[in-house]
Amino acid sequence: MTKRNKWTAVAVWMMAMLVFLSACSNSGSNAVNNAVTEVSTDPSKQPEITLNVFSNLANYAGEQPGWFGKIIKDKFNIKLNIISGGQQKASTMMASGDLGDIVVAIDIVDASKAGLLLDWNKDGLLDKYGQDIKKYAGQSLDALSKQYGGGTAIYAIGHNVGSGSGPSESANMTFGPWLRWDLYQQLGSPEIKTLEDYLSIMKQMQELSPKSDSGKPVYGFSLWSDWDGTASMNAASIAALFGYNVGDGFNIADLIVTKAGEAKWQGLIDEDSPYMRGLKFFFEANKMGLLDPDSLTQKFPDVANKYSDGQILFAQFPWLTDGYNTEERVNAGKGFAFVPFAEEQMSSVGFSPYGGNWYWSIGSKTKYPERVMQFMNWMFSPEGVQVSRTGPKGLMWDIQDGKPTLTEFGYKAITNSVNMPDEYGGGLFKDGGNQINNSTLNLSTINPETGEPYDHTMWTSYLENNPNPVTKSWRDAMGELTVKDYVVNNNKVAVQPPYFSEQARMEEPSDIKQKKSEVGKVIKEYSWKMMYAKDDNQFASLKEDMVSKAKGLGYDEVVKWQVENYEKTVGAALKK
C-alpha cells in the first residue's frame, strides 16, 4: 500500500546545488555513461548485470528473491537489488546525485530538474526497446511528456494504467473492513450500522479467540507508523470507508480529504473530518484493550507476521489477510472476509489511461539504459503483467479450453500452503513476488492474450471453481460472487474518474513546503498520542493542542493553497 515522498528543506537545498553543479559541469560525460548501444534481441544471452531499483513503495531491501527473481534472471540475465525508500533515504540518494537504475514513486519534478532522470527519448531508447510500453500505455507517456517534459522529453510513466468503466480495483477491492468471518458467524453475524459498531463486535470476537495460533495475545487492530506521511496512514485509511481520500490524485493536497466522484473537500483535522473520526475510533479501541500496544513502534512486516499468526481480527485492507487465509485454514472454515457497515461507501479509483502518480523512471546515471528499458517494456507487456501477478505459466496457471486457469499446484501456492519448487526459486509464492511493489498495467483490464483480466481472482475459471468453506459461506450470506460485485450492486462505492491536464501540477512554494513540513510533524506526533490517550479528557486536550499548534505553524495557509489548486483542477472537472 503506500509511502509518499515528503522533501525536507535540506533536500531541496541539496537538489538546487545539484542543478547548479550539473549546469557547470561537462554534460558530455553523462552522454557517455548512458548512451544507447545495440543489445541482443535475446536478452537472456546478454552478460549478467545487477540493476539497482530505488522504490519508495518497497517493504523489502536486498536482492529480488524467489520465483520472480528466477524468471527475470532466466529471461533477461539480470538481478534486481531493491533499495527500500522513505523520506530520509530519498533525500540521501538525491543528494548523492544517483537514484539507481530504476526509480519508483519519486518526485519526478525535483528529480528531473536536478538532472537525475533519463529522458526515454534520448538516442531513440523508447522507440528501440519500449514498443509494448508505447502500445499499452501510450497515453500515459504522452500525458507525462506534456506535463513534465515540455512535450518532447519523457522522464516517467504512470502506474496502474488501464481503461474501462466502474471501479478499477480487483475482485476484493482496495479497502475493507475485513473481519474473521468464522468468529463473526459464531456471534450470529450481528448487524453493523456505523463504523463504531465494530468495536463491540471486535471485543466479543477477542473473547471468543483470546490467543493466536502461537499463544500470543489477540487484538482487534494493529497499526504501523513507517508508512506515515503528513499524518497517520492508518487513521487516514478510515476516510476511504466514507468515500474520501487524502489528496485528490493529481495535486499536492495531503492536508485535505476529497470525495471520490464529487467536488467536495474537508481539511484533514477539521472537527468532523473522517481523519479525526479515525483517530477517535482507534482511541476507543485502545480503551477497550483492542489496539495492539506495539502499533507505535512496529513496522509493516511485523504487522504482516501478526496477521499470519492470527493475532489480529480486523483488516482495513484486504491484502493484510493473505498470510492468514491459507488453504489449510480456509478449508477448515477459518478466515477473513469482507463485512461492510450500513453507512459505508468505499472509495474507488476509476480506470485511467494516464495512470497514477507512483511513477516508473530511469536514473540518469544508469550504465545500462537499453537493458533497463527492455526489462521495463516487458513489465508493461501482457506477458510481463500476467506473470508478475500470477507467476510462471505452466506451473501456476495455463490455458485450458481457451481460458486461463490456475493449476492444481497454483491453487495451493496462491494461498501460500506449499513452497515453490526449487527450480522456480523455492520459498512461498508471496515471498517470491515482485518486491518493487508497484503496478504497471491495471490488473482489472483485459489481457488481450487470454481474453480475461490479468487478475486471476477475476477469471471465470477461478470464480466457478469449487469455493472453500469461507468463500462459499460469504457468498451465500452476501448474495454476490465478489466484494466488487457487492459494492457495485449495492451502491456502496464512490468512484473517482480519471483526471488529466496538459499542465503539470503546481509545485509548493518554499514557504508552503516549510509550513507543511512543520505542520505534518505536529499532526503525526499528536495523532499517535491521541490514539493512545489514557482517557477522554486527555484525548480532548491532545486534540486541542494538535489543532492549535498546527494552526500556529500555518495549517490554514497550507490548506488554502491546496484547496485553491484542487478547485481549479480536479474539483472544477467534477463540477462539469
Widest CA span in the chain: 73
How much is the pLDDT for 37? Answer: 57
439 within 8 A of 105, measured Cβ to Cβ:
no
- Indicate the DSSP class of residue 152: T
Using DSSP's 3-state secondary structure scheme, residue 139 falls into: helix
Residue 380: CB atoms within 10 Å: 22
Q: Is 243 left (phi over 0), alpha (psi -120 to 50) or beta?
A: left
Low-confidence ranges of the chain (pLDDT < 50): 1-33
> Hunting for cell 538481478 — which residue is that?
79
**Distance, first Cα to last Cα, the chain:** 31
Q: What is the CA radius of gyration of the chain?
A: 24
Residue 125: CB atoms within 10 Å: 21
Query: Does residue 177 have a cis bond before it (omega within 30 degrees)?
Result: yes
Query: pLDDT tens for residues 274-304?
Result: 999 999 999 999 999 999 999 999 999 999 9
Using DSSP's 3-state secondary structure scheme, residue 504 falls into: coil
Domains and CATH numbers, the chain: 9-163+355-386 (3.40.190.10), 169-349+466-576 (3.40.190.10)
Structure-block grid coordinates of residue 79: 538481478
78: Cβ contacts below 8 Å, ≥ 6 apart: 48, 49, 50, 51, 72, 371, 375
249 within 8 A of 356, measured Cβ to Cβ:
yes
| C-alpha span between 396 and 413 (Å, rounded) | 8
How much is the pLDDT for 38? Answer: 63
Give the residue from 360, 366, 379 showing the smallest Cα distance to 101. 366
420 within 8 A of 432, measured Cβ to Cβ:
yes
Amino acid making up residue 139: Q
Give the residue from 460, 55, 412, 107 showing the smallest Cα distance to 254. 107
Structure-block grid coordinates of residue 361: 523512471
Burial class (CB in 10 A: 0-12, 13-18, 19+), 504: middle
